[in-house]
Structure 1
């Protein structure tokens, strides 16, 4: 048996322990593991007609190669957000340019090349670790006859079909740590702090981090907010605090009532701009409306930096072990998952069939902009 493995999308702590678990368990079974570097960019840039020149896009994995990788965050395989199903001609490797007919949107589907690479390398099963985009393409390959296994990771914890994704716990832990650390400067100057967290469409990270750090207010991606009402609440929070400061947490994907999500920079090859900047905008509004200076802090990549915490190590290793266990039993076409507190598998296509968002009615007070966690009996470990 020969496995292929890759990591796609944003990096999160826990990817390396997962890679290590897959490799070590495969080695125990006498299997080979070939890692593709830089997500789907690896097989996209591998040229079967020039295998020696294409070796840079592979990483041959064995017990010695992965021996210490779980001690660090990130991914030893590196990662990109490339989607072979939707490529601009200019972004194809030179040897593929001109081979595919562009769609009406001007993009090309390089899937035939990916299929050729997998066949050329003799890969029996592809193990794909990623978020919605990476796993959606893995499901697409499954429809083309490739045996695939998907492993969900995202610090937003928003892959549909699983209660938990690799990277979420560490992102929340980092956020709580920095929110509380920022209290010293905010309190020293008697200001309002606005802490912006990653969370494009799901506000679960902001909800849980603000709940655990006991922030005064939390603005999540699912609920548009009224800056005037928020300003009134936060000003009162500050006055109620003997140290005369207040803490506000906001998802990067949040927006004001009647407003748009904040973006910055140039659009990528898929027409997407980076989200971010709502924290600065909100801070300026709070200062304008209250007359109180704000401290604006975007945690951004600090949330996904460094080594994974114990929970992410546990889930990552268990997902990797589960993937190989199921492959050994002859099963593919699934995504590893946590369901009702237990390890499970679900169809790989399930990640494309819905959206995982905060259950606002159950866990968030839209009037006070705070988590509302009054009843927990029977509720999921992470509120969503």
Structure 2
């Protein structure tokens, strides 16, 4: 293996740039030529390649987003699109590819591997919802962003004696809501993994006011539904001044946390080492604080039976009485 390439795909996540840096520098350290592919699989099909050197990734370890940019590409899901991508890789003499992203990204990588092209993946998504790994790059930063925002919202809630519903991201998973809600001391946390009863949420708020609380914070994951709807229910049933804040894409930006940078460095370097060792068609990840690798096919199988450990959810409920 002499030449490898790296791309980012799907939603951006803090730490992607750190991961790109790790891949490029580890590759160069191992004597490889490294290329970056702009705009994900779209750029792969279009041949949007650029040679990367040490300077190409200088001063990006602290930057959010991705310098390689990310574009969703429907064409790559077709056999014709994949053939175009393989032609580009072969014409440019690329021997291996590393992709950084989520489920959709790995499905594409699995197709390339199935056609004989060495491809490995690194999980990068704030949702922390990829099977085969306990952690995805960007999650810690997103949670810290949400916690900081909720802390500030609580200042206003306390000052004006209000109830605030805060909607956070996470796609179909409640990890951000659970972690941010618990760390910010939310009175109720609503996540897709647990059926919720609006009456129970209202009852908890009322009991808090009865014992002297003047404000409440409710955190809801976007996968459950709109925060505005639960806000209306709370206001109607309690009569309390209720506001709704949707944090939105602020959670996907910003400088990666120290933990995200550490994981990006470790997973990025490992993905390169595996390619050099002839290991292909795998996603690197973290389990029991150890860097491991899981075949793309197994990642897809595990996804269908992946379950959240609800012990943290029940702990949060016991601490928010």
Q: Report if TM-score (shorter chain) is over 0.5.
A: yes
CA distance in 1, matches of 2:200, 2:158: 23
- The 8 Å contact of residues 196 and 298 in structure 1, kept in 2 or not, is answered as yes
CA distance in 1 between counterparts of 2:80 and 2:308 reads 34
**Number of the residue aligned with 1:364:** 313
User: Are residue 298 (structure 1) and residue 246 (structure 2) matched?
Assistant: yes
**In the alignment, what sits opposite 1:343?**
291
SS for the counterpart of 1:40 is: helix
Partner secondary structure for residue 54 of structure 2: coil
Range 25-34 or range 188-197, more displaced? 25-34
| Deviation sequence 1:224-276 (CA, Å, 0-9, x none) | 3222232122232244354x000000000014xxxxxxxxxxxxxxxxxxxxx
- Mapped contact 1:204–1:357 kept (Cα < 8 A): no
Where structure 1 has 5 or more consecutive residues not aligned to the other structure, the ranges are 47-56, 88-107, 256-277, 374-384
* Cα distance in structure 2, aligned partners of 1:182 and 1:306: 19
Q: How far 1:180 moved relative to its partner? A: 0.9
| 1:200–1:221 contact (8 Å) kept in structure 2 | no
Q: Name the Cα RMSD after superposition.
A: 1.8
Are 1:81 and 2:82 matched, yes or no?
no
Find the counterpart in structure 2 of residue 20 from structure 1: 21
The Cα offsets for residues 18-45 of structure 1, whole Å up to 9 and x where unpaired, read as 1001111111222111111111111122
Instruction: Name the structure 1 match of 2:266.
Output: 318
Which residue of structure 2 aligns with residue 135 of structure 1? Answer: 106
Query: How far apart, in 2, do the equivalents of 1:118 and 1:238 lie?
Result: 63
1:64 aligned partner:
55
> Could you say which residue in structure 2 is the equivalent of 1:156?
127
Decide which of 102, 111, 129 is 2:82's aligned counterpart: 111
| 1:98-145 CA-partner distances (Å, limit 9, x unpaired) | xxxxxxxxxx75211111111111111110000011011101211111
**Aligned partner (choices 153, 158, 179) of residue 150 of structure 2:** 179
* CA drift at 1:173: 0.9
The answer for the alignment partner of 1:247 in structure 2 is 217
User: 1:44-91 deviations in whole A, cap 9, x for unaligned?
Assistant: 223xxxxxxxxxx2232110111111121110000122244436xxxx
Residue 225 of structure 2 is aligned to residue 282 of structure 1: no
Q: Distance in 1 between matches of 2:105 and 2:266?
A: 20
Identify unmatched segments of 5+ residues in structure 2. Answer: none
Q: Is the 8 A contact 1:202 1:357 kept in 2?
A: no
Q: Runs in 1 of length 4+ with deviation above 4 angstroms?
A: 369-373
Deviates more, 1:64-73 or 1:345-354: 345-354
Q: Secondary structure at the match of 2:134?
A: coil
- Residue 71 to residue 364, structure 1, CA distance change in 2 (3 Å): closer
SS in 2 for 1:229: helix
Aligned pair 1:10/2:11, yes or no?
Answer: yes
Distance in 2, matches of 1:239 and 1:301, equals 36
**1:239–1:245 Cα contact (<8 Å) kept:** no
Alignment size in residue pairs: 316
Q: Distance in 2 between matches of 1:113 and 1:371?
A: 52
